[in-house]
Amino acid sequence: MGDSSSSQDGVEARKAAIDCVRRIDEYESYANIVLVNAFKKWNFEQRDKNLITEIVYGATRMQRALDWAVDRYLIKPPPAALRASLRIGAYQLLYTRIPPHAAVSTTVEASSKKNRGVVNAVLRRVAEGLPIEWPNESIRLSYPDWLIELVESEYGMREGQEMLEYMNSSPPVTERDDGYIQDLSSQWVVENIDIQPKELILDLCAAPGGKATAMAAKGACVVASDLHHSRSRRMSQNIKRLRTDEVLQVTTDGVQPCFAKSTFDKVLVDAPCSGLGVLHRRADARWRIKRSDVDNLAILQLKLLRSAKELVKPGGELIYSVCTITEAETSNVIKSFTKSVDGLKPVVINDSRWRKKNGGVFLLPQDHETDGMSMFKWEVK
């Protein structure tokens, strides 16, 4: 983050950031939706939009560390508006290159009059106390304890912390040849599906349509299904924008799909998951997901795989992918699945960009600056 002006524009941008962070915290709103609504309400230049986005996502992502940094100087927990001011001010001090005097002065001016005294005093104390000596890694990295314990238990402390550190940074933006914004890991999933011209492929959990349209671009006839109408509407918009005629959109429950058995040459189950491989993209996700959600999602994933297998023609392929890296949602689901059904032959994925594990492949975010992703393939006999 570069230097930021202390002009009125800088103050207005911080007012917007404070309002966004307050809404995310007070109403448990999604950060991306709050920002979209904010930019409809306020007329900002792109430079200010970039600053607001950085501060809002950063303050949301790093809120545990930020709260610890400011709470040392408070007598009692602050109300939501004051908390939001302190978070965005502390974020600028700890994680950007904005000069401390500019970060403090603009944040104070952007705060409500009744909060300015506290904001000024606390942020000055934070600035004077830099660099901070953190009490533990959970607070420094700003994740829930359970998530850090899970990642470190499955990948070791060094690699686990590398992954968590990486997902505290803003992710790169990658664009396909057709202009669709899609992470490389998702593009690589499609690259590792051996698509033949005019094959009939089902994308069982297809929204927002990135993989479905990519498979269609490789010559397949794709049926893109999803259960949720709101997500399906977004997928429909993407399909129309890309002018992809080879995608037929269907709304159906993947656990009990409306298709006949042995209909498709290939079925992709890009299943709902904990999303622990994309926490750098979803600033508030780490505070929403619970440990029990991982196990509940694994149950759903197993059901989806079982139903999907029945839809594949003999000699066809079943593909499973998830943007997460937990054992519960990858190796353990696969073990349960392959033990509970017959007629599956693992298909080896030979791609040096991926790591191999338990018959499939996976990516950690720090490997290639992508999302975390896991992928498995089988031939259905």
Q: What residues are labeled active site?
A: 323
DSSP 6: -
The residue among 227, 235, 220 whose CA lies nearest residue 269 is 227
Rounded distance, CA 32 to CA 21, Å?
A: 11
The residue among 183, 69, 55 whose CA lies nearest residue 110 is 55
Residue 90 CA, chain-centre distance (Å), reads 24
Rounded distance, CA 381 to CA 377, Å?
A: 13
CB of 249 closer than 8 Å to CB of 236:
yes
The residue among 182, 211, 171, 183 whose CA lies nearest residue 195 is 211
CB of 333 closer than 8 Å to CB of 273:
no
Residue 13 CA, chain-centre distance (Å), reads 25
- Kindly give the residue spans of alpha helices, DSSP state H, lying in 200-330: 210-217, 229-242, 285-288, 291-309
DSSP 134: -
CB of 380 closer than 8 Å to CB of 314:
yes
CB of 225 closer than 8 Å to CB of 202:
yes
Q: Token pair for residue 252?
A: 């159906």
Which backbone phi and psi does 232 adopt, to 5 degrees?
A: -65, -35
